[in-house]
Amino acid sequence: MPFDTTLRMLAKARGLSAADIATAIPRVGAATVSAWLKGDKLPGQDQLNALARAFGVPAGALLAELAGTLDPARTQGEHDLLAAYRALNTRQQGALLEVARSMAGAKPTRRRGA
């Protein structure tokens, strides 16, 4: 879910206007919050952390695809792998995908003693 959609959903659920949200974020006005709600801008790291505190959610949940992070079918390893992938640069992500695809196509190897 995009950031603006998540923010609008949280604001609506709590009955907050752009002006209400702005009061919780240092040095941010209602016009800036309105731009976030429309998807015209994204907050900086400090602003994102303040938003997360104001709504009582993890900062990552505001930017990540919320449904994917809450997917009970994913294992902890899948969550860890996704977090690690997102921390890589584009070139590294491509290399990791190449390795994963080659491993997925390879036949499993038997370990001795198994």
Q: Which tens digit of pLDDT belongs to each residue from 10-41?
A: 999 989 999 999 998 989 999 999 999 998 99
- The domain in which residue 101 lies consists of 74-105
Question: In terms of domains, do 63 and 89 share one?
Answer: no
Question: In terms of domains, do 36 and 16 share one?
Answer: yes
Report CA Rg, the chain: 19
Higher-confidence position of 54 and 114: 54
- How far apart are alpha carbons 81 and 71 in whole angstroms? 14
Q: Write the pLDDT tens digit of every residue in 74-86.
A: 677 887 888 788 8
Question: In terms of domains, do 13 and 53 share one?
Answer: yes
Q: What mean pLDDT is predicted for residues 93-113?
A: 78
Q: What mean pLDDT is predicted for residues 77-96?
A: 86
* The CA-based dihedral angle spanning residues 79, 83, 88, 91, taken in that order and rounded to the nearest 10 degrees: 30
How many separate domains does the chain show? 2
Q: What mean pLDDT is predicted for residues 66-81?
A: 64
Any residues with CB less than 8 A from the CB of 35 and at least 6 apart, and which?
41
Q: What is the CATH number of the domain that holds 58?
A: 1.10.260.40
Q: Write the pLDDT tens digit of every residue in 36-52.
A: 999 899 888 899 899 99
Question: In terms of domains, do 24 and 44 share one?
Answer: yes
